[in-house]
């Protein structure tokens, strides 16, 4: 029991000698996770910093500095990657995590390629960040138990996020298939869950985990406005710890 509990942030002993988990002494934590390392992250970070929120950014190191365009609803959306020389500066104050070298679906790769894609990306990003990168998000949502086990046993990754929205605040036993609470474009549901989380009174640890891609905020003219409204609503609550994925999960 203790080995499973230990991975969850700060552990203290109560007067009976039993383990109690908390996030800097608080029972509720909010964390964000954004993928791909695109230039829209700069605007997102400005908003996160404005409301004292923390985020983990999952990056493909071999795609840094590349330029691309996505077409959504007949609109051209910039998919430019952060310049490789700017990574440490842009993501300062937040967490850099792996997303594989080139964004393949890992369920379609052999063992050797899975390890190469993940571990080399992790090491590349550790050098750019100036600290050891230990987190990850699965590109394309590509994960099964086999892939998760390979990463756990053969890389320095300590946790990895899926794209399976579970609408839950409960702690999870498997940090290598960690499911987020909600996807950020599901605005109505995200706000509903945010209200539920803020009003929640709990004596056990709970996590509200939001994920997405910052370039998706450019899909519609009001998406950035809606996201900021959500940030403002859930931020700066005295009973909530705001941290990166590593700070919350480990």
Predicted local distance difference test score (pLDDT) of residue 73? 81
Q: 177-205, pLDDT tens digit by residue?
A: 999 999 999 999 999 999 999 999 999 99
Q: Answer yes or no: is pLDDT of 112 > 50.
A: yes
Predicted local distance difference test score (pLDDT) of residue 42? 98
Predicted local distance difference test score (pLDDT) of residue 21? 65
In degrees and rounded to multiples of 5, residue 202 shows phi and psi of: -145, 145
Q: Which residues pair with 33 in a beta bridge?
A: 56, 211
Q: 41-51, pLDDT tens digit by residue?
A: 999 999 999 99
How far apart are alpha carbons 108 and 118 in whole angstroms? 14
28-249 classified as CATH 2.160.10.10: no
CA distances from 93 to 37, 78, 161, 208 (A): 15, 25, 20, 20
Domain ranges for the chain, please list them.
Answer: 28-249
Q: Answer yes or no: is pLDDT of 16 > 50.
A: no
pLDDT band at 58 (very low <50, low <70, confident <90, very high): very high
**Contact (Cβ atoms closer than 8 angstroms) between residue 244 and residue 54:** yes
């Amino acid at each position: 029991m203790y080995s499973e509990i230990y991975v969850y942030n700060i552990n203290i002993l109560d007067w009976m000698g039993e383990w109690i988990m908390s996030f800097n002494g608080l029972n509720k934590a909010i964390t964000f996770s954004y993928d791909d390392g695109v230039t829209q992250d700069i605007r997102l970070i400005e908003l996160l910093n404005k409301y004292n929120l923390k985020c983990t950014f999952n990056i493909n190191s071999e795609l840094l500095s590349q330029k691309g365009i996505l077409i959504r609803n007949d609109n051209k959306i910039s998919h430019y990657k952060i310049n490789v020389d700017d990574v440490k500066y842009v993501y300062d104050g937040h967490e850099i995590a792996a997303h594989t070298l080139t964004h393949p679906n890992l369920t379609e790769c052999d063992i050797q390629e899975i390890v190469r894609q993940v571990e080399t990306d992790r090491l590349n990003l550790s050098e750019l960040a100036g600290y050891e990168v230990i987190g990850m998000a699965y590109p394309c949502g590509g994960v099964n138990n086999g892939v998760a086990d390979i990463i756990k046993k053969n890389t320095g990754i300590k946790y990895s996020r899926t794209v399976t929205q579970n609408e839950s605040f409960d702690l999870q036993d498997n940090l290598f298939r960690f499911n987020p609470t909600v996807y950020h474009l599901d605005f109505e549901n995200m706000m509903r869950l945010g209200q539920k989380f803020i009003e929640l009174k709990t004596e056990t640890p709970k996590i509200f985990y939001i994920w997405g891609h910052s370039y998706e905020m450019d899909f519609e003219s009001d998406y950035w406005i809606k996201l900021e409204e959500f940030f403002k609503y859930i931020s700066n609550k005295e009973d909530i710890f705001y941290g990166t994925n590593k700070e919350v999960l480990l």
